[in-house]
Amino acid sequence: MLMATVSCKINGKDQTLEVDPQMPLLWAIRDVARLKGTKYGCGVAQCGACVLHLNGEAVRSCVTRVTRAEGQKVVTIEGLSENNDHPLQVAWQEIDVPQCGYCHSGQIMSAAVLLRENPNPTDQDIDRAMGGNICRCGTYPRIRKAIHRAAEMLRSGGKRNGTDL
Amino acid sequence: MNGGNKRYTGNRFWLTACTLVFGLGLLVAMAPDFTGGKKPRELTPDDNPVIKKDSAASIKAFASVYKVLMSPRCMNCHPSGDVPLQGDDSHLHIMQPTRGKDGKGISAMKCANCHQPANTPGLHTPPGNPNWHLPPADMKMVFQGKTPRQLARQLVDPEQNGHKDLRKLLEHVNDTLVIAGWHPGEGRTTPPLPYAEFKKAWITWIENGAYAPKK
């Protein structure tokens, strides 16, 4: 198999990955960079469990080829904040959002982009932005509540969005 | 006032004009054939795309164009609402992503988050293009629900077609996102005409005057 070298910045650290160039970014992150917070859900960009940030955008890493990350910045749930204290993470704990928890790294990564672009989202803004993240436990009302709470924290001077890492 | 002078000026004008026309005609007739008997070159963007006015040929070609533009591969990204359509039945795109200002989606639901620069392998996986997008919010270029007449008129109106003059409209047939309709990824039908036939119909429609059908 022809291997490729992909150099990128993952959670603020320069990394070089020796990978099959066809490999989805998800597997490079989980199996090569050994960051297991990003989850595999559907494999076809339908559920949002695999969302991470590529140059600040909430890409679905299961359909994103690893080569797209060459020279780019990748942020996973592990890199969203230094001490798991991003307002979204704090709000998620405060409101006890997850049930099984499997989809929530993707939920939080999507919500982080929403708050970066819209620091004061309405319920409709949240529904529109989060429509691509499915939760089989049905925690949507708590997700929405936590996003409002995090927005409130950000507005009152909480930690800034960590996607610029 | 001064009618006599006017008549005199008019006579001189016609004499000069006739001489010029005759002279030019002679020059053209004597000019060597630089084409060497080859077929005329294809129209380029530097040329005026409308090379003849033939409403019958133009409208006939537009019938083929219309069939393609109203097929799901084209119409699905030219919806009447702000959510793209999906599938051969043109249902609302699952997840209901929205257009956004620039047509590229909003926050965590941007087109390129799922639609990669190329098709993702596999059945019904997201099709790809480096510039996947809907028309922008300030010029939605809706195809859905349009009659042939409405669509033809919209396509030639720079205020409704993305500020394209006829030359740019002619070039638009070569846009990679247009061509992507014929490479839709596994599990999707292609438009009802092959791309080459569509392109020919598109060019014929425009070159003959870009006429709109009556209905």
What residue ranges do the domains of chain B occupy?
55-207
Buried b (16+ CB within 10 A) or exposed e, A42-57: ebbbbbbbbbbbbebb
- Domains of chain A, start order: 4-79 (3.10.20.30), 87-159 (1.10.150.120)
User: What is the value of ipTM here, to two decimals?
Assistant: 0.92
| pLDDT above 70: residue A141 | yes
Residues in chain A closer than 8 A to B116 (CB atoms): 63-65, 68
Name A8's bridge partners. Answer: A15
What is the model's pTM? 0.83
Binary contact (B95, A117; C-beta < 8 A): no
**pLDDT tens per residue across span B59-109:** 999 999 999 999 999 999 999 999 999 999 999 999 999 999 999 999 999
Mutate which of B93, B101, B114 to test chain A, going by most A C-beta atoms within 10 A?
A: B114
Residues in chain B closer than 8 A to A128 (CB atoms): 96, 98, 106, 109
Is the CB of residue A162 less than 8 Å from the CB of residue A75?
Answer: yes
User: How many CA atoms within 13 Å lie on the side-chain side of B102?
Assistant: 9
Token output for A11: 């959670």
Cβ atoms within 10 Å of B181's Cβ, excluding its own: 23
Q: Could you tell me which of B142, B139, B155, B128 has the C-alpha nearest to residue B101? A: B139
Binary contact (A58, B108; C-beta < 8 A): yes
Q: pLDDT (tens digit, 0 to 9) for every residue of chain B, 215 residues total?
A: 333 444 444 455 555 554 555 554 444 444 444 444 455 455 554 556 667 888 999 999 999 999 999 999 999 999 999 999 999 999 999 999 999 999 999 999 999 999 999 999 999 899 999 999 999 999 999 999 999 999 999 999 999 999 999 999 999 999 999 999 999 999 999 999 999 999 999 999 999 999 999 99
* Residue owning tokens 């494999």: A43
Binary contact (A132, B124; C-beta < 8 A): no
User: How many CA atoms within 13 Å lie on the side-chain side of B141?
Assistant: 24
Quick check: A61 contacting B, CB < 8 Å? no
**What Rg, from alpha-carbon coordinates, does chain A have?**
15
Pairing between strand A73-75 and A4-10?
Answer: parallel
Name A9's bridge partners. Answer: A14, A73
